[in-house]
Structure 1
Amino acid sequence: MAAQNCLVANDWICWDYVTSRSQELTDATLEHIWITGASVLIGIAVSVPLALLARRGRHWAAPVLGLTTLLYTIPSLAMFSLLLPVFGLSAALVVTGLVLYSLTILVRNVLVGLEAVPEDVREAARGMGYGPGRLLWQVELPLALPALLAGVRIATVSTVALTTVGSIVGKGGLGNLIAPAVNSSFKAQVLTASVLCVLLALVADLLLLGVQRLLTPWTRAGARPAAAGASAGAGADSAAGPAPDSAPTAAPAKGA
């Protein structure tokens, strides 16, 4: 009887709410996942060429890093409002805004990773006939993976939180449940959706940590990172020396 009355009593913890709204919670969670995933993947695709551009020199790095930092300082509601005339009330609006926010983290981390690649490794690869494209994909990016994946983890957790703001256009995943519940003081819905959001962030971070350890075993085994990266470049490890540890940078998590 108590389980049935928890909705009437407006309790914070109410299992009856979870069971009666399970489909709604599932749909909101799945929407939250795909919006977050799409935003981070697109952010990675955009951040790599921007980092390559910034690596060309200070005259490129300053505007690229400055622009991404400026975008990050725009409040969430203002960002979505600015994008509204272009994308309308759609998921594309939310994804675009989240991609722009992720760039300040991803671009900096990709750039840090690329700059940490020792020059002698590059010279050895060039001496073996590696062109710019092959050098990037088979030597430099593998060596930059620790910094890149660290940035992806931070960007993903930040994006999970920011996705909830998409509720202002009806595309906020679990935010679609949190916002109206706060306005109506529906305690069970506020707590349940918020807990699911936190769990999503934790699970995503743990999964990405596992991927990071799987793809960069030398970072935990004490192996020579330069040799590991050059090995991914089809044999360049025979001429590569150890790479210095890189310290990935990250912007502070942006609050929703």
Structure 2
Amino acid sequence: MAGQNCLVTNDWICGEYLRSRSQELADATVQHIWITAVSVLIGLAVAFPLALLARRSPRLTGPVLGLTTVLYTIPSLAMFSLLLPFFGLSAALVITGLVLYSLTILVRNILAGLEAVPEEAREAARGMGYGPARLLWEVELPLALPALMAGLRIATVSTVALTTVGSIVGRGGLGNLIEDALPSFFKAQVLTASVLCVLLAVAADLLLLGVQRLLTPWTRIRTRAAAAAPGAR
């Protein structure tokens, strides 16, 4: 009875809500993860060639970075309104908007990582007969991974938060639950959906951090070597 009363009294923490709406929460969480993952992956696929283009043609660096920055400053309501004639009220509308928002972070970090590759590493690879494609994939990209992964982590956490805005077209994952609860201020639903969003962001960041550590073992070696150096505290 006490568990059911928390729904009547509209408590922030309500076990009965979690039990009675578990399937609804699971469906919203799955939709949130799906939209976020697809948006970030497409954003990365678009950002990578843009960063390569900006690096290859210095004249295009300013326009590319400027365009992605302008896209990021467009309010979400305006962005979705501009995309609505092309995609209608669909998940593609939300995903496209999130992809455009992710570009400013991803392009800048990929470009920064590639530009930070030591020139002597490039020269050594060229001296060993590496062509442009092999140089990029086997030398430059591995050395740029820390910056690239840092940008990917930021973009992913940002996208987890921005996905909730998709609730305005019914494709916001956990944001749908928050919007549905606001008119009656259903506290348990607002709090639960908000906490799940935070947990998704933290989990995604930790997962990508683990992937980064697996892909860049040399950074851990340098850290241990620095810690073991004489005079290190």
In the alignment, the residues of structure 2 paired with residue 183 and residue 103 of structure 1 have an alpha-carbon distance, to the nearest angstrom, of: 34
Residue of structure 2 in register with 1:23 after alignment = 23
Residue by residue over 1:196-216, the C-alpha shift from the partner in whole angstroms, topping out at 9 and shown as x without a partner, is 011000111111111111111
Deviation at 1:220, TM superposition (A): 2.4
Query: Which amino acid is 2:53 matched to?
Result: L
In the alignment, the residues of structure 1 paired with residue 40 and residue 161 of structure 2 have an alpha-carbon distance, to the nearest angstrom, of: 13
Q: Secondary structure at the match of 1:209?
A: helix
The alignment's TM-score, normalised by the length of structure 1, stands at 0.85
Counterparts of 1:70-85 in structure 2 under 5 Å? Answer: 70-85=70-85
In the alignment, the residues of structure 1 paired with residue 82 and residue 221 of structure 2 have an alpha-carbon distance, to the nearest angstrom, of: 47
Deviation at 1:13, TM superposition (A): 0.7
Residue of structure 2 in register with 1:120 after alignment = 120
In the alignment, the residues of structure 1 paired with residue 105 and residue 112 of structure 2 have an alpha-carbon distance, to the nearest angstrom, of: 11
State whether structure 2 residue 186 is matched by structure 1 residue 186: yes
In the alignment, the residues of structure 1 paired with residue 193 and residue 183 of structure 2 have an alpha-carbon distance, to the nearest angstrom, of: 14
Deviation at 1:59, TM superposition (A): 1.1
In the alignment, the residues of structure 1 paired with residue 7 and residue 206 of structure 2 have an alpha-carbon distance, to the nearest angstrom, of: 34
Residue of structure 2 in register with 1:45 after alignment = 45
What percent identity do the matched residue pairs reach?
81
Greater share of helix: 2
Unaligned runs of 5+ in 1: 224-256
In the alignment, the residues of structure 1 paired with residue 119 and residue 110 of structure 2 have an alpha-carbon distance, to the nearest angstrom, of: 17
Residue of structure 1 in register with 2:160 after alignment = 160
Query: Which amino acid is 2:134 matched to?
Result: R
In the alignment, the residues of structure 1 paired with residue 9 and residue 190 of structure 2 have an alpha-carbon distance, to the nearest angstrom, of: 15
Residue of structure 2 in register with 1:242 after alignment = none
Q: Secondary structure at the match of 1:67?
A: helix
Residue by residue over 1:218-254, the C-alpha shift from the partner in whole angstroms, topping out at 9 and shown as x without a partner, is 222207xxxxxxxxxxxxxxxxxxxxxxxxxxxxxxx
In the alignment, the residues of structure 2 paired with residue 123 and residue 41 of structure 1 have an alpha-carbon distance, to the nearest angstrom, of: 32
Deviation at 1:57, TM superposition (A): 4.0
State whether structure 2 residue 174 is matched by structure 1 residue 177: no
Residue by residue over 1:110-168, the C-alpha shift from the partner in whole angstroms, topping out at 9 and shown as x without a partner, is 00000011112112112222111111111111110000000000000000000000001
Residue by residue over 1:51-91, the C-alpha shift from the partner in whole angstroms, topping out at 9 and shown as x without a partner, is 11111243110000000000000011111111100000010
State whether structure 2 residue 91 is matched by structure 1 residue 91: yes
Query: Which amino acid is 2:74 matched to?
Result: I
In the alignment, the residues of structure 2 paired with residue 116 and residue 208 of structure 1 have an alpha-carbon distance, to the nearest angstrom, of: 21
Q: Secondary structure at the match of 2:8?
A: coil
Residue of structure 2 in register with 1:197 after alignment = 197
Deviation at 1:18, TM superposition (A): 0.6
Unaligned runs of 5+ in 2: 224-233
Query: Which amino acid is 1:145 matched to?
Result: L
In the alignment, the residues of structure 2 paired with residue 11 and residue 145 of structure 1 have an alpha-carbon distance, to the nearest angstrom, of: 46
The number of aligned residues is 223
Quote the RMSD (CA, aligned, Å). 1.0
In the alignment, the residues of structure 1 paired with residue 157 and residue 86 of structure 2 have an alpha-carbon distance, to the nearest angstrom, of: 27
In the alignment, the residues of structure 2 paired with residue 208 and residue 45 of structure 1 have an alpha-carbon distance, to the nearest angstrom, of: 17
In the alignment, the residues of structure 1 paired with residue 153 and residue 130 of structure 2 have an alpha-carbon distance, to the nearest angstrom, of: 31
In the alignment, the residues of structure 1 paired with residue 119 and residue 107 of structure 2 have an alpha-carbon distance, to the nearest angstrom, of: 21
The alignment's TM-score, normalised by the length of structure 2, stands at 0.93
In the alignment, the residues of structure 2 paired with residue 155 and residue 219 of structure 1 have an alpha-carbon distance, to the nearest angstrom, of: 22
Residue of structure 2 in register with 1:139 after alignment = 139
